[in-house]
Amino acid sequence: MVCPNPELLSAWLDNEVPSPWKDAVQQHVQACPHCAAVVDRFSACHEALALQNCDDTILQSAADRVYGRLIANVKPASSSLHAFSRRLLVPLPLAAAAAALIIFLGASLFLAGRRNDQLMMAVQEAEQGSQVAAGSAIGMDAILEYLSSQGNGLNITISLPQSSGFSGSGEPFIVREADFKPTGGNK
């Protein structure tokens, strides 16, 4: 068995070790001269302390000395109430991840702003073009002629709606308002 540490030997001497380990430590102390010597020193210390008659004045002076040392080593609390007077301890990987996130978000906002600027320019150009076409009484032929005269090889696709949303359902006929009977949900 490996020699137990001195704290365990002291606990064994004070009968503070539970039963299964108590027997193992006792057998080891009986077999090991080094551990037996440590236990003998602890026993001598115990006996010397038991014979020592300490009065309350000695104990109070020792307590006062310890208290004085503690007070001398403690820094006084700062009376300033600065918002940034405390140090914030952040693990390095967390700080690096936060910095990377801030850089990523900044770059995203910058690129989104550039993209929005390009989009705004395209919308302004489209509005100006639609104002010219809508403001004049020019037909489709005139617009196509204008575009072909530009000569810059610009391809423009004009998409018209595929259906008008109306469906034919028989022949039209005239109905007086008094004779009209609505069908469906409109009443």
Does the pLDDT at position 132 exceed 50?
no
Three-class secondary structure of residue 130 per DSSP: helix
pTM of the predicted protein model: 0.31
- 29, 50, 132 from 36: Cα distances, Å: 5, 21, 109
Question: Which residues, 6 or more positions from 115, have their beta carbon under 8 angstroms from its beta carbon?
Answer: none
Structure tokens at 124: 């302004």
Count the neighbouring beta carbons within 10 Å of the beta carbon of residue 160.
Answer: 4
Structure tokens at 135: 């403001």
At residue 101 the predicted structure's pLDDT band, cuts being 50, 70 and 90, is: very high
Of 33, 35, 44, 47, nearest to 8 (Cα)? 35
Does the pLDDT at position 102 exceed 90?
yes
Three-class secondary structure of residue 151 per DSSP: coil
- What's phi and psi for 154, nearest 5 deg? -80, 125
Do the Cβ atoms of 9 and 42 come closer than 8 Å?
A: yes
Q: Where are the domains of the chain?
A: 1-52, 93-135
In whole angstroms, how large is the CA radius of gyration of the chain? Answer: 48
* Residue 186 zone, left/alpha/beta (φ > 0; ψ -120 to 50; rest): beta
At residue 133 the predicted structure's pLDDT band, cuts being 50, 70 and 90, is: very low
Over the chain, what is the mean pLDDT? Answer: 76
